Every structure is written in C-alpha cells, then in structure tokens.
A = this chain, B = another copy of it.
Amino acid sequence: MPSPIVGALDEAGVRLTGPRRVLADLIAERRGPFSAADLAADARGRRVEVGRATVFRVLDLFAELGAIERIDLPDGGHAYLACEPSHHHHVVCSSCGRATEVADGVLRDAVRDIESVTGFRIDSHRLELFGLCPRCRSEADE
C-alpha cells in the first residue's frame, strides 16, 4: 500500500521521483514530530542515500502541498508532522512526542474577539499546544 503522501504528489501533478517516494514512506511510518535530520538518518538506516539538500527541498514541497506541516517546539526548535491538509492545530505530547490534530473551529470566536479588541485584521495564526497524552497521563498517575 502506497503512502497517502504519494497520492497527494500524484494529484498535484509533480514528478514522482525516487527520493520523494522514499521520504514519503519514511514520513508515513513516523508517529510524532520529526526533523529533517531525523529523516536523513532514517534513509541512511535503510541504506538509501538521499542528499541533505534534497531532504529539505522535499520537506518544503510536501509542506506546500499540505501533506506535512512545520511546527515550532517549545524549546525553539522546528519539526515536521504528517497531517491532513485542512487548517488545524497540533497537540504534542511533551513526554512521548505523540501528536494529534485539532480542528481550527475552536479558535474562530477567539480570533474574532481579538480583531475587535485590537483593530488588527488577522490573516493567519499559529497555535501549538503541549501537554501529556492520555497514555502518558495514566502512566504518570501510577
């Protein structure tokens, strides 16, 4: 079964090259957030050489297609996350790295409030949430 990202590539009408397939597969197998360096290491682990520059380019491409998203970690670092193309936000577990998506709806009212208070016209926003996932919560309770 081909990864859903490969399907997205196909639909977008971009070339389906070797490195793109490999990276799409590796991304599909990852659960939590990952960095460009992680992917490069994964590829090396499989004895598939993918240039560092290519990893960044492909990550950019996927992000443009909406197949993955770039998020900012609390420590200031960056990471990528496979996700649905619709606008949404991420909840990242600070213990195990597991991540979940949250629909954007919850923020709509808040954004409207902020617009009327500040006079700004809000064009875009980014919200990232960090905490403990259900599994890590119950482990912490024991």
Q: Which residues of A contact B (CB under 8 A)?
A: 70, 72, 74, 76, 78, 91, 93-94, 100, 102, 106-107, 109-111, 113-115, 117-134, 137
A122 and B131 contact, Cβ closer than 8 Å, known pairs A107-B110, A110-B110: yes
Check A130–B134 contact: CB distance below 8 A: no
Select A120's contact among B70, B72, B76, B91, beta carbons within 8 Å: B91
Q: Looking at the complex, which one of B114, B127, B134 makes contact with A102 (CB distance below 8 Å)?
A: B114
Q: Are A129 and B125 in contact (CB under 8 A)?
A: yes
A12 to chain B, nearest CB (A): 22
User: Measured between alpha carbons, how far is A74 from B91 in the docked complex, in Å?
Assistant: 19
State which of B76, B110, B123 has its C-beta within 8 Å of the C-beta of A94.
B123
Q: Is the CB of A132 within 8 A of B126?
A: no
Q: Considering the complex of A and B, which 5 residue pairs feature the smallest CB-CB distances, nearest first?
A: A119-B134, A122-B131, A106-B110, A123-B131, A72-B72
- Chain B residues in 8 Å Cβ range of A134: 118-120
A-B contact pairs, 18 of them (CB 8 A): A70-B76, A76-B78, A93-B120, A102-B118, A106-B114, A111-B129, A115-B131, A118-B134, A119-B133, A120-B131, A122-B129, A122-B130, A122-B131, A123-B130, A124-B131, A125-B127, A126-B126, A126-B127
